[in-house]
Amino acid sequence: MSGNNSTRQHSFQKITLKKIYQQWDKTSWILLLVPVLLTLWVYFGKQDFFDTLFGSLFNVWNQDFYSTLYEYFCAFILMFGIPFIFVKFMFKDKLSEYGFKKGDIVFGAKFCLYSIPIILILMFVGAGTESVQGEYPLAKSITENVNYLIIIEICYLVYYISWEFLFRGFMLFGMEKKYGALAAILIQTIPSTIVHIGKPFGETMGAVIGGLVFGYLAIRTRSIFYPFFMHALLGISTDIFVIVRTIH
């Protein structure tokens, strides 16, 4: 009986704020910071907010060009800049510990090389759908100016390296040691998918697959650069294919 009472008392042991605080560690900061940063980006860092805030100043035919640059700039600050500050000055870790290195070049290069035709075919097919054409490119005005197109696609690269650093670097490698590779891959897939809500259905569902594949690729190569390459190829090729398929 005394043994049962002891077990029962242990089961109903109070979880105090002090005990919770004692469990706080580096991964706790990551899991708290990511939803805060993504919420700020969705509400204040995207095209709609730019149009609301600066619409009267940029009321020109290519306003979507400036609002797209704004969205990419905010992504860089929130997804790369702030996590970078935490890694370097709060955690006092090296960026290489978060996948910012070449990693396994042989495996990464082969994986990307074999994936290129698959990505291009899928993006070409997807670019023929109304939902994708309605969404991309984010700056529709770039179809009328090659210089604007080049600027936007270069800035797209900044956006994608920021995205990959947040999810496949800061989150994935930041949680791997404590939770293991599988859990880390699954956990970072959740917010990277949810933030796609509002995009075409196929893209949002594809984000689940992308989270798993890119997460595995980052873990396998110990680098975020190979997921970055694939993700950037996916996004830029979508823009180009949509433009090509909608030119009259």
Domain range for 30: 25-246
Sheet strands (E) in the chain: none
- Over the stretch 181-192, which tens digit does the pLDDT of each residue have? 999 999 999 999
The C-alpha atoms of residue 193 and residue 209 are separated, in whole angstroms, by: 9
Please indicate, yes or no, if residue 13 is contained in any of the structural domains: no
From residue 77, give the alpha-carbon distance in Å to each of 36, 81, 166, 239: 13, 5, 11, 23
> Residue 66: its pLDDT value, please?
93
Please indicate, yes or no, if residue 19 is contained in any of the structural domains: no
> Residue 91: its pLDDT value, please?
97
Please indicate, yes or no, if residue 225 is contained in any of the structural domains: yes
Please indicate, yes or no, if residue 1 is contained in any of the structural domains: no
> Residue 4: its pLDDT value, please?
57
Is pLDDT above 60 for 7? no
Q: What's the DSSP call for residue 8?
A: H
Give the tokens for residue 62: 């290519």
Per the structure, the count of domains in the chain is 1
Answer whether 227's CB lies under 8 Å from 214's CB: yes
Q: In the predicted model, what is the mean pLDDT of the chain?
A: 93
Q: Which of 11-15, 33-37, 223-227 is the least confident region?
A: 11-15
> Residue 60: its pLDDT value, please?
73
To the nearest whole percent, how much of the chain has pLDDT over 90? 83
Query: Could you give the dihedral angle defined by the CA atoms of residues 75, 78, 83 and 89, in that order, rounded to the nearest 10 degrees?
Result: 130
Is pLDDT above 70 for 73? yes
Average pLDDT over residues 220-238: 98
- Over the stretch 34-68, which tens digit does the pLDDT of each residue have? 999 999 999 999 999 999 988 777 667 789 999 99
> Residue 12: its pLDDT value, please?
59
> Residue 130: its pLDDT value, please?
95
Is pLDDT above 80 for 13? no
The C-alpha atoms of residue 137 and residue 130 are separated, in whole angstroms, by: 13
Ordered DSSP codes for 177-228: HHH-HHHHHHHHHHHHHHTTBTB-HHHHHHHHHHHHHHHHHHHHHT-SHHHH
Average pLDDT over residues 88-114: 97
The C-alpha atoms of residue 97 and residue 169 are separated, in whole angstroms, by: 8
Residue 180, CB-side half-sphere exposure with 13 Å CA sphere: 2
- Over the stretch 118-169, which tens digit does the pLDDT of each residue have? 999 999 999 999 999 999 999 999 998 999 999 999 999 999 999 999 999 9
Give the predicted TM-score (pTM) of the model: 0.91
Please indicate, yes or no, if residue 11 is contained in any of the structural domains: no
Confidence of residue 21 (pLDDT cuts 50, 70, 90): confident
Please indicate, yes or no, if residue 100 is contained in any of the structural domains: yes
Who's near 28: CB < 8 A, 6+ residues apart?
Answer: none
Please indicate, yes or no, if residue 16 is contained in any of the structural domains: no
> Residue 79: its pLDDT value, please?
98
